[in-house]
Structure 1
């Protein structure tokens, strides 16, 4: 039996990542492909949740409403980049038994580790801003709760997290997969009855130079930031270790990497379809009409008032839309909290209860949303601008995660001869990093010159 050599990084680990779920899920030793895939399925769904949170909703719907089908190519490219990055993140965790935060901290000093932790925490808070806004708007649509009250009520989702943690990790995965399936079916039906321009939709998958114009670029980067989530790289590198495998058997490690990749790509394909459906829905309903920007409320009202041609029971669809919006934010509650714990333990070796971790993050995120709600009196356009800007910030933070991930998975010393990235993977990863960094610097410069 061939055995792996111990990797240099392991001796720096400050205990296993997310110790309470690490190596807790059994997998069959000699099961069929489908049985083995079922056993490894789950972490990909938790990662995919981050690719369809309320931030994705507003950027995709808004992108379709403002620019038609132009930016659907951005969703395609972002999703392919996400699949590559999540594959590398899962591989790093499974092979080295360290998450990305632990691996990065092992190669940096204490000061740089703290700086990287703070920047990652800022990205997590930016993601949480989208969840706060999405949850508050969903509560307003469903129960007519004022936005200020709804924003305050989102703090209570810490109670939901406490309940879910009692169910066990495998049951949480099953709940998330079910909710993703429901969201997919709801939007597939809504797009069908919205009568989109099929030819224009497929033409939108081909990138066009107009994307680089100022307004389109801002929205495109918002879509990238909402689609390729930097904190998901930390999450996946950790929860990929939840499967109980024999790390002394190189073939078993390779099998775990293979099925983790299958799981990730299948779930991210579902997230890609949902984001495309959201953009198509925004384009079909609002593009060229000169009214409504594809906001959550305008889309809800379109469904509620039977503005979709051929719609049946539109009020029911409007309720489903709002429920799905609320559910997507609550789904992200789980992953955001887990990621916060991962980066805190990995970068600064600090642990705290998940409920406390969640409460602190949510309180920090609520402040800018409450301020925006009070100053602009809950104006939709102001809330949407805050949402889009939070997603642009995530895009700016992305290279900070991509650079160490590419470095580590391209190192034979860290990954070993068998698991190091193939040359083409390394080249594509660096190309994506360079292009995204350039676009981010460009959008930052545009922002500065517009002041």
Structure 2
């Protein structure tokens, strides 16, 4: 049942209808398709019903772009950038909780909310920036999957890039099975990735005291331009802008009570779901960096390429399975990110433009925009070019972050739009602090890039 219409004038409540016209819920085929138990109590039953969207979001926080930035950071600077991974994950938990709050309370995803409240030129500009971010993310998925296929099966990198265009059929098949099955597929691949890295860390035996020291921020992160470049790449790879649009939509797949009490309860359960899932993402991101620091940096090896890491892991750790599991986890990561990237692209295009293309066509267009530059770079520069392009794609994501974060923080903190379920004062202060930090760090990166 669609929520009742509401006015869309500036300052009016966002709750109710899709923007600028008839009620068109986000991801209409899956909207309110997962039932949530009703009645008082039953905390764990309700929490179980809400479990899922957080893991789809967490996928974006451990995609192949993270591998490039974490490997580069760990092998070049040891454990120093662990603090960036930790604080990026904490920032992600805050922002994703706000994203879930927006979708649950207003019935809008972030793209729809922007379209409802900003002028047409601003909306088009935000859409264009978001599409660039999705293409950058897709580029990381393309390259990560192609590298994994090369490592596992010896497939030439260019052919692997081309083959990634066919994963559109995987998306179509999963969506036909229903949203709950899609979530189960994602969680299964996450378990594979986590298991692979748990084994790798067992073999690497990193120094616990060095890990603890790396969790303390160092001033060198900001003063060293090379370290800052990787740090912002980690930030862009961890706090993914398109995930803010994705989460605000997929929380609406749950069929919860639409009164204030039901929405407040839904916000709590969705926040727990995303925070637990992002803790898993934190473990995996930290594991990649720790593995690079313990295995390569500790031996004076500056390994910035995924392929080189694959070749060195087994002889360095003394286990033949180490390299294979590394590549298997990379392939699982690429395929997981493909699924969520498709959903985010659909949500963004429909929300900002009210343009509804067939999923296969939308996916194919986005993937072609990633495949062409990836194929050109790989053909010209080989493995090193692929890794450098992976890191650059994550910096592009980070540069787009403020344009997603600032509207999200503004909407969720506005009681005129959110009513009594607006973000409390302490959360608004934290969220605006995160937004300001992102703007400052990105400004520093641009200054160093153009003038440094």
Name the TM tier (shorter chain).
over 0.9
Residue 353 in structure 1 maps to residue 358 in structure 2: yes
Residue 241 in structure 1 maps to residue 252 in structure 2: yes
Matched residue, 2:114: 104
* Larger CA deviation: 182-191 vs 77-86: 182-191
Find the residue that maps to 1:241 and give its secondary structure: helix
- How far 1:62 sits from its partner (Å)? 1.5
Matched residue, 1:322: 327
- How far 1:297 sits from its partner (Å)? 1.4
The answer on whether the counterparts of 1:27 and 1:245 sit within 8 Å (CA) in structure 2 is: yes
Residue 339 in structure 1 maps to residue 347 in structure 2: no
User: Which of 386, 390, 393 pairs up with 2:389?
Assistant: 386
Structure 2 residue runs without a partner (length 5+): 7-11
* Larger CA deviation: 285-294 vs 390-399: 285-294
CA distance in 2, matches of 1:361, 1:315: 37
Find the residue that maps to 2:390 and give its secondary structure: helix
Matched residue, 2:90: 80
Aligned pairs (5 A) from 1:164-203? 164-203=174-213
Aligned pairs (5 A) from 1:34-45? 34-45=44-55
User: Which of 54, 62, 70 pairs up with 1:52?
Assistant: 62
Change in Cα spacing, 1:194 to 1:294, as seen in structure 2 (3 Å) is farther
CA distance in 2, matches of 1:271, 1:62: 18
Residue 123 in structure 1 maps to residue 157 in structure 2: no
User: Which of 362, 377, 387 pairs up with 1:372?
Assistant: 377
CA distance in 2, matches of 1:295, 1:198: 25
Matched residue, 1:32: 42
The answer on whether the counterparts of 1:55 and 1:388 sit within 8 Å (CA) in structure 2 is: yes
Residue 268 in structure 1 maps to residue 270 in structure 2: no
Change in Cα spacing, 1:38 to 1:12, as seen in structure 2 (3 Å) is closer
CA distance in 2, matches of 1:392, 1:272: 19
* Larger CA deviation: 54-63 vs 8-17: 8-17
Could you list the per-position Cα deviations for residues 237-292 of structure 1 after superposition, in whole angstroms to 9, with x for gaps in the alignment?
A: 00010000121x21111111110001000000000011011100000111153434
Matched residue, 2:413: 410
- After TM superposition, the score normalised by the length of structure 1 is 0.94
- After TM superposition, the score normalised by the length of structure 2 is 0.94
The answer on whether the counterparts of 2:17 and 2:107 sit within 8 Å (CA) in structure 1 is: no
Could you list the per-position Cα deviations for residues 314-361 of structure 1 after superposition, in whole angstroms to 9, with x for gaps in the alignment?
A: 333322221211111111111111111111111111001111111100
* Larger CA deviation: 237-246 vs 173-182: 173-182
User: Which of 32, 36, 55 pairs up with 1:23?
Assistant: 32
For these two proteins, the number of residue pairs brought into alignment is 439
- How far 1:409 sits from its partner (Å)? 0.4
- How far 1:398 sits from its partner (Å)? 0.2
- How far 1:34 sits from its partner (Å)? 2.0
The answer on whether the counterparts of 2:96 and 2:247 sit within 8 Å (CA) in structure 1 is: yes
The answer on whether the counterparts of 2:75 and 2:301 sit within 8 Å (CA) in structure 1 is: no
CA distance in 2, matches of 1:295, 1:199: 27
* Larger CA deviation: 86-95 vs 23-32: 23-32
CA distance in 2, matches of 1:449, 1:40: 48
Matched residue, 2:438: 436
Find the residue that maps to 1:8 and give its secondary structure: coil
The answer on whether the counterparts of 2:295 and 2:313 sit within 8 Å (CA) in structure 1 is: no
Aligned pairs (5 A) from 1:223-234? 223-234=234-245
Q: Once superposed, what is the RMSD of the aligned Cα atoms?
A: 1.7
Find the residue that maps to 2:79 and give its secondary structure: coil
Find the residue that maps to 2:80 and give its secondary structure: coil
Find the residue that maps to 1:206 and give its secondary structure: coil
Find the residue that maps to 1:70 and give its secondary structure: coil
Could you list the per-position Cα deviations for residues 72-111 of structure 1 after superposition, in whole angstroms to 9, with x for gaps in the alignment?
A: 0001100010000000000000000000000011111222
The answer on whether the counterparts of 2:304 and 2:387 sit within 8 Å (CA) in structure 1 is: no
Change in Cα spacing, 1:197 to 1:351, as seen in structure 2 (3 Å) is same
Find the residue that maps to 2:61 and give its secondary structure: coil
The answer on whether the counterparts of 2:31 and 2:252 sit within 8 Å (CA) in structure 1 is: yes
CA distance in 1, matches of 2:272, 2:104: 14
Residue 204 in structure 1 maps to residue 206 in structure 2: no
CA distance in 1, matches of 2:425, 2:302: 47
- How far 1:303 sits from its partner (Å)? 3.3
- How far 1:33 sits from its partner (Å)? 2.2
